[in-house]
Structure 1
Amino acid sequence: MKRNLLTLLSLTLLLTLSSCTIEVNDGDGGTITTPGNTSGVLPEGGKLSGDITSNLTIKKGNYTLEGIVKVADGATLTIEAGATFTVSTTTTSSLVVLQGGKILALGSASEPIVFTTAAKVPGGWGGITIYGRAPIKAVNGSPTAVSEDGNFITYGGNDANYSSGILKYVRVEYAGKKINDGTSETNTFTFYAVGDGTILENLVAYKGTDDGFEFFGGTVSAKNLVAYGNYDDSFDWQDAWSGQNNSNWFAFQTVTGNFGMEIEASANIDNTPPKISNITLIRDTNTNPETAGSVEISAIQFKRQGTGIFSNVYVSGYKNTGGKNAYAVLIQDDATNNNQVNANPSKVVVSPLNYVNSDNPGVWGYAVTNGGKTFTNTASVTKVSLVAGAWATVDGVNLLSALQ
Structure 2
Amino acid sequence: MKKFFLSCITITATILFVGCSSDDNDPIAVDDDPTPVNSVLTGQITEDFTLTNDVIWTLDGRVTVTNEATLTIEPGTIIKAETGQDSNASVLIIARNANIEANGSANNPIIFTSVTDNIELGQVAGTNLSESDRGLWGGVIVLGNARASLSGDATENQIEGIPASDRNGLYGGNDDSDDSGTLNYISIRHGGALIGEGNEINGLTLGGVGTGTTVSNIEVVGNVDDGIEWFGGSVNSSNLLVWAQGDDGLDIDEAYSGTISNAAVVMGDISDHGLEIDGPAGSLEGSFTIDGLTLIGNTTTENGEYADFRDNAMGTVRNVYATGFKSSSDVELDNNVVSQNFLDGKIVFQNWILNGADNTIFVEKGGCIENCDDENDENDVFEDLIILNPSFSERAANWTSQGTSGGANMSVFSWTFASSKGAL
Aligned residues: 365
TM-score by length of 2: 0.79
Deviations 1:135-180 (A, max 9, x none): 0111244332222212323321000000000000000001111013
Are positions 1:18 and 2:18 aligned together?
no
2-structure distance, mates of 1:32, 1:67 = 15
Shift of 1:50: 1.5
| Structure 1 letter corresponding to 2:201 | T
Deviations 1:107-157 (A, max 9, x none): 111110001114343011110001100001112443322222123233210
Structure 2 counterpart of 1:337? 339
Contact 1:313 1:350 (C-alpha < 8 Å) held by counterparts: no
Change (3 A) 1:111 1:269: same
| Structure 2 letter corresponding to 1:310 | V
Contact 1:56 1:76 (C-alpha < 8 Å) held by counterparts: yes
1-structure distance, mates of 2:362, 2:251 = 19
| Structure 2 letter corresponding to 1:50 | G
Structure 2 counterpart of 1:87? 81
Structure 1 counterpart of 2:145? 133
Contact 1:25 1:31 (C-alpha < 8 Å) held by counterparts: no
Shift of 1:79: 0.2
Deviations 1:315-362 (A, max 9, x none): 122324xxxx421x2100001111x1011xx1211210112224x644
The DSSP-based 3-state class of the residue aligned with 1:111 is coil
1-structure distance, mates of 2:209, 2:401 = 34
Structure 2 counterpart of 1:392? 416
Shift of 1:64: 1.5
The DSSP-based 3-state class of the residue aligned with 2:191 is coil
Partner residue of 2:111 out of 97, 110, 114: 114
Structure 2 counterpart of 1:279? 293
Structure 2 counterpart of 1:64? 58
**Of 166-175 and 278-287, the range deviating more from structure 2:** 278-287
Structure 2 counterpart of 1:365? 363
Contact 1:138 1:266 (C-alpha < 8 Å) held by counterparts: yes
- RMSD of aligned Cα (Å): 2.8
Deviations 1:219-248 (A, max 9, x none): 1110000000000000101111110x3210
Contact 1:223 1:247 (C-alpha < 8 Å) held by counterparts: yes
2-structure distance, mates of 1:309, 1:347 = 8
The DSSP-based 3-state class of the residue aligned with 1:67 is strand
Q: Within 5 A, what are the aligned runs for 1:140-155?
A: 140-152=152-164, 153-155=169-171
2-structure distance, mates of 1:390, 1:169 = 11
Are positions 1:206 and 2:203 aligned together?
no
The DSSP-based 3-state class of the residue aligned with 1:260 is strand
| Structure 2 letter corresponding to 1:36 | A
Shift of 1:18: 2.9
Q: Within 5 A, what are the aligned runs for 1:244-393?
A: 245-268=259-282, 271-289=285-303, 297-320=304-327, 325-327=328-330, 329-338=331-340, 340-343=341-344, 346-358=345-357, 361-368=359-366, 369-370=384-385, 372-374=392-394, 375-376=396-397, 377-379=400-402, 382-387=406-411, 391-393=415-417
TM-score by length of 1: 0.83
1-structure distance, mates of 2:352, 2:35 = 48
Are positions 1:218 and 2:233 aligned together?
yes
| Structure 2 letter corresponding to 1:82 | G
